[in-house]
Amino acid sequence: MTSLKVVPVFDLETNKFPQPVWALVSESNSVPIKEFTYGMPIRGMHPAEKGSAPDPLLPGIKYRLFADTGKQKVQHDFVPEQRTE
C-alpha cells in the first residue's frame, strides 16, 4: 500500500477538506498484508502527519476507508459496533 486513510462519511458530505481519523503513508514499499485492524502499525508505513495517532472510532458512525496500492484505489464504508465485554 502507498496510503491508507479513514474519514467519517458525514465529513465527506459537508466538508471540502475532511480530516482523516487515521492516515498512513509509505515512502517506498510497505510490507504486503492480507488484513489489518484499525489503528495497528503497518510495517513500511508511518502516520501522514508526524506524531499523529489514530482517533478512536465512535460506534454507530459511518466511516470510509480509502486505500491506495499505487496500481489500484479502493474504498469501503463501515460502521463500528459498540464493544460488549
Name the CA radius of gyration of the chain, rounded: 13
pLDDT of residue 9: 96
Q: Does residue 14 lie within any of the structural domains?
A: yes
Per the structure, how many domains does the chain have? 1
Q: Does residue 83 lie within any of the structural domains?
A: no
- Residue 33 or residue 9, greater confidence: 9
Q: Does residue 84 lie within any of the structural domains?
A: no
- State the Cα–Cα distance between residues 14 and 70, nearest whole angstrom: 28
CB count within 10 Å of CB 54 equals 15
Query: What mean pLDDT is reported for the chain?
Result: 91
Q: Does residue 32 lie within any of the structural domains?
A: yes
- The domain of 11 spans 3-78
pTM exceeds 0.85: yes
pLDDT of residue 33: 85
- Across the range 57-75, mean pLDDT stands at 94
Predicted confidence (pLDDT) at residue 79 exceeds the cutoff of 80:
yes
**4 and 26 Cβ atoms separated by less than 8 Å:** no
Q: Does residue 29 lie within any of the structural domains?
A: yes
Q: Does residue 7 lie within any of the structural domains?
A: yes
- Each residue of 45-60: pLDDT tens digit? 999 999 899 999 999 9
